[in-house]
């Protein structure tokens, strides 16, 4: 994922990657236990300026961006660095924000290696003893006491109790030591709050690095360990949990980047995202390393294997703050109830989330068209399936060149770039207008452009571009299910024609479509992944039958039958027996950048309004559960964005599309079910608006992990491409 890191930050990441690999070996991590402090490592970090890398240059620090500190912490996490680095960085930042001579003296002493500083994570006003990471080796502790910011100098090291994983945790009694007031009032509160939020992001980054390395090590072991004659990574019971984990760790990294960008831009969402990031990273680390240890079986429990070092720290690093799940409530109160907190200065970030002017202009044009043509009656007709298709709207968009704006102008498009197309299509979601017919037809049209004959292009593309016709997909068969390459529908060459016989299931939209993109077997003697050929078959030909199949999702799909259907060869899309290549291109388009995060945000909006009317906005459980949905939406949007950005950057295909679809569909399913429970019994009543959206989403979500590639198939792709695991089997 190095392509996502800004160019000027890559040397920093690479330097610390080499540093921690050399200076924080498993042997040294073990030697630092039970306290969890490596004094030699700390001295080397001081020489690199790491503890004061975030301190402004005016105080003698590095003045570096928070992104760079997070990149460093990720590498520290990968190698389980036995040093209270996050605490020192945060404490130095608090002192620099507060200012004053005493603060400057202690920052200088920290930077020179003469003193060690850490941060007490909880207000000391109540006088209770607390566990302070780094406190067992610190010379002073930066604390908040109500409206006062204190520096407590210690006369002796704090007692270091035996803990889950060290981290130099000390038992701190606020009554001990010599107190110096550094600041008071708003300045003190703001400085401490910002430092604590920075600590959360630094620890989250370390947890992400820890998780990623544990998954890599487990995957290597799963390729080497032979059981029942094959590597254990061959079995989906091993590979699929690891695939889920790497998706979620990637999502965690993307969420950190998203949060840093929001902070740099001054977005109101930033403070909520800090809490979401901390919770998600802690949760993900616990799951990922538990699965990694399970991969080793009983060996993972032994002290000789490194995975147990990761397993203990995956829990221990976040816990000094308390239950990580408490951050969900904090995030929800910030996101939904307007609570505020002071954030640190993140520094400048590349603003690649902004939309360029030309893209905004196209979005405005699309918005104006929808404002003009979408009557209240049409808006009520909108649906997530083909049931919401309207020919009048389709033709109006086609006439304006806004149905497929990224298509070439000769086929009715605008020939716009990715950003403009994304902005225009985003307006469809804004108006909650039906997108499936456009998405399927647009994908098929692109395949015809890439693989179809000129005669076929001339026949279908202009009419598609004008919104006059749509197309449907004919992949699935009753006996094949998700194994599309097991298709048995036959196409036999007869001179210049082909004769097709067979049956397809779940041919959604066939009752409205003019064509079906049909997967057929043209050579039954070849292996099943070969001998396949694609055709764009007109659905008005003799021998085609379309039978409705109705679902509990208020969606009609179809069973289609083909009996001696004769078509000319120019309807073939791609080479004879070369359908795998065409299908691969089709599936890559279909699985890329899933947008169910928009459904999750809509549910949040409706549930919040319902809660307001019901007087339940003070319900902590409700706010926490909505915050969890928000986290899923933020990560889902980031994963979808990665698909498009990776394609634009020419990055290697590491199953980003499948990863995006797995995450967004699975969380859409779980979130709609949870919000259905949360709003019960009102949510039992069907409706297209208000809380009825949750009930409709619950039924809609059920199918999303099936079509476009089942989650099981896609997890296997992620396991193989992201973790280099063997080709899986059940």
pLDDT tens-place string over residues 220-252: 999 999 999 999 999 999 999 999 999 999 999
Distance CA 222, CA 241 (A): 12
| pLDDT value for 591 | 57
pLDDT at residue 157 in the model: 87
Percent of the chain with pLDDT over 90: 85
Burial 527-566 (b: 16+ CB within 10 A, else e): eeeebbbbbbbbbeeeebebeeeeeebebbbbbbbbeebe
133 — pLDDT class (breaks 50, 70, 90): very high
CA–CA dist 536, 559 (Å, integer): 17
- What would the pLDDT profile of 325-372 be if each residue is shown by its tens digit? 999 999 999 999 999 999 999 998 865 546 789 999 999 999 999 999
Q: Tens digits of per-residue pLDDT, 529-543?
A: 789 999 999 999 999
How far is 448 from 458, CA to CA, in rounded Å? Answer: 10
Phi then psi dihedrals of residue 551, to 5 deg: -115, 165
**DSSP per residue over 538-554, as a string?**
ETTSTTEEEEEEE-TTS
| Confidence (pLDDT) at 542 | 97
Return d(Cα 28, Cα 40) in angstroms, integer. Answer: 10
Measured in whole angstroms, the distance separating CA 274 from the mean position of its chain's CA atoms is 15
pLDDT at 43: 97
Confidence class of residue 312 from pLDDT cuts 50, 70 and 90? very high
* Sequence spans of domains, the chain: 357-434, 471-585, 592-723
pLDDT tens digits for 150-171? 999 999 989 999 999 988 999 9
Length of the chain: 730
The predicted pLDDT at position 527 comes to 85
pLDDT at 2: 58
Could you tell me if 75 and 207 are in contact, meaning their C-beta atoms sit under 8 angstroms apart? no
Closest residue by Cα to residue 204 from 251, 140, 168, 262:
251
Domain 592-723, CATH: 1.20.140.10
Q: What is the CA radius of gyration of the chain?
A: 29
User: At residue 706, what are phi and psi to the nearest 5 degrees?
Assistant: -105, -55
Is residue 659 within 8 Å of 253, Cβ to Cβ? no
| Residue 102 clears pLDDT 80, i.e. is over it | yes
Q: Is there a cis peptide before residue 550, judged by omega within 30 degrees of 0?
A: no
Scanning 182-306, the segments in alpha helix (DSSP H) are: 185-224, 236-265, 270-296
- Six token digits for residue 79: 């190698």
> Quick one: tokens of 272?
């909520």
The rounded distance, in Å, linking the Cα atoms of 559 and 556 is 10
| pLDDT of the residue at 321 | 97
Tokens of 616: 């339940």
Cβ atoms of 20 and 78 within 8 Å: the answer is: yes
Dump pLDDT digits (tens) for 544-598.
999 999 999 888 999 999 999 999 999 999 999 998 888 877 776 665 556 889 9
Neighbour-count burial for 483-512, b at 16+ CB within 10 Å, e otherwise: ebbebebbbeeeeeebbbbbbbbbbbbbbb
Report whether 539 contacts 574 (CB < 8 A).
no
pLDDT exceeds cutoff 80 at 512: yes
- The pair of structure tokens assigned to 648 is 């634009």
CATH 2.40.110.10 fits 471-585, yes or no: yes
Confidence band of 374 (pLDDT split at 50, 70, 90): very high
From 632, 669, 674, select the one nearest 273 (Cα to Cα).
632
Residue 480 has pLDDT above 90, yes or no: no
Beta bridge partners of 536: 517
How high is the mean pLDDT of the chain?
A: 94
The structure tokens listed for 175 are: 């009554």
Instruction: Work out the average pLDDT over 661-671.
Output: 96
The pLDDT value given to residue 269:
94
Mean pLDDT of 485-489: 87
pLDDT given for residue 525 in this prediction: 87
pLDDT band at 729 (very low <50, low <70, confident <90, very high): low
Given pLDDT bands bounded at 50, 70 and 90, which one contains residue 635? very high
Residue 648's pLDDT band (cuts 50, 70, 90): confident
**pLDDT category, 439, cuts 50, 70, 90?**
very high
Residue 71 has pLDDT above 70, yes or no: yes
In eight-state DSSP terms, residue 176 is: S
Q: pLDDT tens-digit profile of 16-49? A: 999 999 999 999 999 999 999 999 999 999 999 9
Q: What is the DSSP letter of 97?
A: H
CA atoms within 13 A on the CB side of 454: 0
Crossing angle for the helix pair 66-78 and 10-23, to the nearest 10 degrees: 30
E strand or H helix at 600: helix 597-614
Residue bearing the bigger pLDDT, 302 or 729:
302
Residue 404 · residue 394 · CB < 8 Å: no
Q: Interior CA angle at 400 toward 399 and 403, to 5°? A: 85
Mean pLDDT for the stretch of residues 392-420:
95
The whole-number pLDDT of residue 694 equals 96
| CA 182, 187, 192, 197 torsion-angle sign | negative
Let me know: does 648 contact 418? Beta carbons within 8 Å. Answer: yes
CA triple 561-563-565, angle to 5 deg: 105
Q: Provide the pLDDT confidence category of residue 707 given band limits of 50, 70 and 90.
A: confident
pLDDT per position as a tens digit, 162-198: 999 988 999 999 999 999 999 999 999 999 999 999 9
CB 639 within 8 A of CB 254: yes
569 in Cβ contact with 524 (< 8 Å): no
- Tell me the H-state helices in 307-453: 307-316, 326-337, 357-373, 376-381, 391-399, 418-430, 436-451
Reported as a single tens digit per residue, the pLDDT across 463-473 is 999 999 999 99
């Amino acid at each position: 994922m190095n392509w996502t890191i800004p160019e000027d930050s890559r040397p920093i990441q690479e330097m610390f990657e080499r540093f921690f690999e050399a200076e924080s070996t498993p042997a040294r991590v073990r030697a630092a236990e039970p306290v969890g402090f490596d004094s030699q490592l700390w001295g080397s970090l001081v020489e690199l300026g790491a503890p004061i890398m975030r301190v402004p240059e005016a105080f003698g620090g590095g003045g570096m961006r928070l992104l760079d500190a997070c990149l460093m912490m990720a590498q520290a996490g990968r190698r389980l660095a036995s040093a209270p680095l996050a605490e020192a960085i945060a404490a130095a930042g608090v002192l620099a924000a507060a200012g004053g001579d005493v603060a400057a003296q202690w920052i200088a002493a920290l930077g020179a290696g003469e003193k060690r500083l850490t941060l007490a994570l909880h207000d000391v006003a109540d006088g209770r003893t607390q566990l302070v990471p780094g406190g067992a080796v610190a010379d002073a502790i930066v604390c908040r006491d109500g409206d006062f910011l204190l520096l407590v100098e210690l006369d002796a090291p704090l007692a270091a109790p035996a803990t889950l994983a060290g981290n130099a945790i000390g038992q701190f009694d606020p009554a001990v030591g010599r107190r110096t007031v550094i600041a008071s009032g708003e300045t003190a509160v703001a400085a401490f709050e910002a430092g604590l939020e920075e600590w959360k992001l630094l620890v989250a980054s370390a947890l992400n690095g820890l998780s990623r390395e544990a998954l890599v090590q487990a995957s290597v072991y799963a390729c080497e360990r032979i059981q029942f004659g094959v590597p254990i990574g061959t079995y989906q019971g091993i590979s699929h949990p690891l695939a889920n984990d790497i998706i979620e760790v990637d999502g965690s990294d993307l969420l950190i980047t998203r949060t840093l960008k929001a902070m740099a831009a001054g977005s109101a969402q930033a403070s909520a995202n800090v809490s979401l990031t901390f919770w998600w990273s802690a949760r993900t680390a616990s799951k990922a390393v538990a699965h990694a240890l399970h991969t080793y079986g009983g060996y993972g429990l032994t002290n000789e294997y490194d995975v147990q070092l990761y397993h203990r720290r995956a829990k221990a690093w976040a816990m000094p703050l308390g239950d990580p799940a408490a951050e969900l409530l904090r995030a929800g109160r910030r996101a939904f109830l307007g609570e505020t907190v002071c954030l640190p200065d993140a520094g400048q970030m590349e603003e690649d989330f902004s939309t360029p002017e030309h893209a905004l202009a196209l979005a405005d044009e699309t918005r104006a068209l929808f404002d003009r043509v979408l009557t209240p009656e049409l808006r009520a007709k909108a649906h997530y399936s083909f049931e919401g298709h309207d020919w009048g709207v389709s033709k109006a968009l086609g006439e304006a060149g806004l149905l497929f704006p990224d298509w070439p102008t000769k086929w009715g498009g605008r020939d716009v770039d990715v950003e403009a197309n994304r902005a225009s299509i985003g307006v469809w979601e804004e108006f909650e207008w039906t997108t499936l017919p456009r998405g399927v037809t647009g994908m098929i049209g692109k395949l015809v452009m890439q693989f179809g004959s000129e005669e076929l292009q001339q026949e279908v593309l202009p009419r598609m571009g004008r919104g006059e016709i749509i197309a449907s997909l004919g992949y699935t068969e009753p006996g094949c299910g998700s194994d599309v390459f097991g298709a048995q529908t036959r196409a036999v060459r007869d001179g210049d024609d082909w004769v097709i016989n067979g049956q397809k299931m779940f041919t959604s939209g066939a009752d409205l479509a003019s064509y079906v993109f049909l997967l057929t077997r043209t050579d039954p003697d070849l292996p099943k992944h070969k001998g396949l050929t694609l055709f764009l078959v007109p659905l008005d030909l003799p021998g085609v039958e379309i039978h409705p199949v109705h679902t509990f999702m208020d969606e009609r799909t179809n069973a289609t039958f083909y009996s001696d259907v004769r078509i000319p060869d120019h309807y073939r899309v791609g080479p004879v027996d070369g359908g795998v290549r065409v299908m691969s291109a089709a599936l890559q388009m279909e699985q890329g950048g899933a947008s169910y995060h928009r459904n999750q945000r809509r549910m949040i909006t409706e549930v919040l309004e319902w809660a307001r009317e019901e007087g339940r906005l003070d319900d902590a459980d409700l706010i926490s559960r909505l915050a969890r949905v928000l986290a899923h939406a933020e990560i889902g949007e980031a994963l979808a964005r990665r698909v498009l950005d990776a394609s634009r950057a020419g990055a290697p295909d590491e199953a980003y599309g499948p990863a995006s679809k797995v995450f967004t569909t699975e969380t859409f399913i779980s979130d709609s079910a949870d919000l259905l429970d949360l709003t019960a019994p009102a949510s039992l009543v069907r409706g297209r608006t208000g809380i009825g959206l949750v009930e409709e989403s619950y039924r809609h979500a059920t199918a999303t992990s099936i079509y476009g590639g089942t989650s099981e198939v896609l997890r296997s792709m992620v396991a193989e491409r992201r973790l280099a695991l063997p080709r899986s089997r059940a």
